[in-house]
Amino acid sequence: MANEILINVGVGETRIAVTADDRLDEFHIERTAGLPDGGGRAGHSVLGNIILGRVQRVLPAMQAAFVEIGLDRAGFLGAKEARCLADLPGFQDALPEIGDCVHEGQAIFTQVIKDPIGEKGARLSANVTIPGRLLVLVPNQHGVALSRRIEDEPERRRLIAIVEGFEGQPGMVPGAGYIVRTVAVGAGEAELREDAERLAIAWRELEERKKHARVPSTLYCDLDPVARALRDCVRAETDRIVIDDAAALSEARAYAAEAMPEILEKIVFYDGADLFEVAGIEEEIESLLQPRVPLSSGGWITIETTEALTAIDVNSGSFTASSGLEETSFRINQDAAAEIGRQLRLRAIGGLVVIDFIHQSNPENIARVMQTLAMGLGRDRVPTQIAPMSEFGLVEMTRKRVRDPMVKFLTEPYRGALAGGRVRTVPTVANELLRQIERAARANPGRVVNCVAHPEIIRWISDEAVVLKRLRERIGGRFRIEAREGWVRDRFEVIAEAPRVAAAAGE
Would you state the pLDDT for residue 322?
55
The two counts, helices (H) then strands (E), for the chain are 13, 26
User: Helix, strand or coil for residue 161?
Assistant: helix
Which pLDDT band holds residue 422 (cuts at 50, 70, 90)? confident
pLDDT at 58 over 70: yes
All structural domains of the chain with their residue ranges: 4-34+245-283, 50-125, 130-220, 288-406, 425-496
Mean pLDDT in residue range 283-301: 92
Q: What is the pLDDT of residues 5-40, one digit of tens each?
A: 999 999 999 999 999 888 899 999 988 765 444 333
What is the phi/psi pair of residue 161, to 5°?
-65, -40
Would you state the pLDDT for residue 114?
87
Which of these CATH numbers, 3.30.200.20, 1.10.340.70, 3.40.1260.20, 3.30.70.3040, describes 425-496?
3.40.1260.20
Which pLDDT band holds residue 304 (cuts at 50, 70, 90)? very high
pLDDT at 501 over 60: no
Mean pLDDT in residue range 441-452: 88
Share of the chain above pLDDT 70, in %: 92
Mean pLDDT in residue range 221-231: 90
CB 20, CB 345: distance < 8 Å: no
Mean of the per-residue pLDDT values for the chain? 88
Would you state the pLDDT for residue 503?
42
Same fold, 50-125 and 130-220: no
Would you state the pLDDT for residue 466?
84
pLDDT at 43 over 50: no
Q: First and final CA of the chain: distance in angstroms?
A: 50
Q: Does CATH place domain 130-220 in 3.30.230?
A: yes
Would you state the pLDDT for residue 37?
41
Mean pLDDT in residue range 452-471: 90
What is the phi/psi pair of residue 81, to 5°?
-80, -10
Task: State how far Cα 442 lies from the chain centre.
Answer: 29
pLDDT at 330 over 80: yes
Mean pLDDT in residue range 208-230: 91
Would you state the pLDDT for residue 497?
82
pLDDT at 42 over 60: no
The 3-state secondary structure of 446-470 reads: CCCEEEEECHHHHHHHHHCHHHHHH
Cis geometry, peptide bond prior to residue 383 (ω within 30 degrees of 0): no
DSSP line for 195-214: HHHHHHHHHHHHHHHHHH--
Task: Report the C-alpha gap between 152 and 162 in whole angstroms.
Answer: 16
Which pLDDT band holds residue 326 (cuts at 50, 70, 90)? confident
CB 300, CB 292: distance < 8 Å: yes
CATH of domain 50-125: 2.40.50.140
